[in-house]
Amino acid sequence: MPSPIPGIHHVTAIATDPRRNLAFYTEVLGLRLVKKTVNFDDPGTYHLYYGDDLGRPGTILTFFPWPLAVRGSRGVGQVTVTSVAVPAGSLGFWAERLAADGIVAEETEERLGEEVLTFLDPDGLKLELVAAREAAGRPGWQGGPVPPEHAVRGVHSVTLTEQGYEATAALLTTVLGFEKVAEAGNRFRFEAPGGGSGARVDVLCTPAAPYGRIAAGSVHHVAFRVADEAAQREWRERLVTAGLDVTPVLDRQYFRSIYFREPGGVLFEIATDPPGFTLDEAPEELGSGLELPPWLERHRERIESTLPALGEAERR
C-alpha cells in the first residue's frame, strides 16, 4: 500500500462576488489570502486560496468566484458541510463575532464529543466551527483580525451526504486507508491514520434526500494530501486497480493533482504537499499579486482586463 494519506489538503467551493468572498474569509473568518490566481481551466475567473500564514496543506479553503453563477442546492452526492477547527472555549467568541457581522448561526450543539457552531457564508456555503481539543497545537494566521487565541486552525473535517453508505465506506477504509472511529444515528466518522483535526471525513446517510446541485454556495471538491509526486503516482495506480476512473496527473502550480469520483458521486482529489505557495511569492508577499502559471503568463494583459478588481487586495 502507498504511504498513508494523512488527511485533507484543501476544500474548493464555488462563490459569486470575489470581493465579498475575499472580505468574508479574510475579515470575518480571519484567514490569510495566500494566493490570488485564476482557475487554470477557466482563466476568466479567479481562484482564491485562504489558509494560515503559509497556506499549509490542511488549512486551505479555495474558491472559484463566478459572479453570474446561480445558487446551488445541498443534497446527496455532495460535500454538504465544511468544518474548520478552533481552539476549545472559542465558540462563545465566534458566536458574538458572527452576530456582530449580521450572520445568523445555529445554536451550539454537541456532536461526537465536540461543540459545533453552524452558519452560512455569503453565498450559502454551509460552514461549521468545531471546538477541537487538538486545535491549540496547530498554528493559525497570527496576522489577521481575529485574536490569535481564537483563530481558525485549519480544516477539521468534511461531511459527505450520501444516499447509501456501504460503497463510500468501503472506499474510505479498504482503498484510502481510513478507519471508522465513531457513529451517531446516520452519521459515520472516518479518520486517516494518525487521526485528529484535518484527518476526518463524516458520511451522512440520507436515503430519502434529493440530489444536490453544485453551483454557487456548493463545494466543488475535497482534496486529500500526499507527501510527494512519487506517492501520488502510487495512489493513482492503487485507485485504478480498485476500478476507479482517475485523471492523469495535472499541474496545479502549487501542487500536483489527480481527480476521481467516489461511489456516491463526490469529486475527490489527491494533491501533493509540495511545492507550496511560496513557489512564486515570498512568505511576506503571499496573496499580494495576481500570480499566473508560466503557460498563462503571455495572456496576462487579457486576463487582467477580464477580472474584476479586488479593491485593497489588488496591489499589482
Give the model confidence (pLDDT) of 54-100 as tens digits. 999 999 999 999 999 999 999 999 999 999 999 999 999 999 999 99
Mean pLDDT of the chain: 95
Amino acid type, 191:
E
Q: Is residue 115 domain-resident?
A: yes
Question: Which whole-number Å values give the CA distances from 295 to 30, 194, 250, 252, 301, in the listed order?
Answer: 32, 38, 13, 11, 14
Query: Quick one: 111 exposed, middle or buried, by C-beta within 10 A (0-12, 13-18, 19+)?
Result: middle
- Phi (first) and psi of residue 186, to 5 degrees: -95, 15
> What's the predicted TM-score (pTM) here?
0.96
- Whole-angstrom Cα distance, residue 295 to residue 292? 8
Q: Is residue 176 domain-resident?
A: yes
Question: Which whole-number Å values give the CA distances from 178 to 5, 18, 155, 200, 290, in the listed order?
Answer: 8, 35, 17, 9, 37
- The residue range of the domain holding 81 is 8-313
Structural domains of the chain, count = 1
Q: Is residue 45 domain-resident?
A: yes
Q: What is the CATH number of the domain that holds 196?
A: 3.10.180.10
Q: Which residues of the chain have pLDDT under 70?
A: 312-316
Q: Is residue 3 domain-resident?
A: no
Q: Is residue 2 domain-resident?
A: no
- Whole-angstrom Cα distance, residue 234 to residue 112? 34
Q: Is residue 1 domain-resident?
A: no
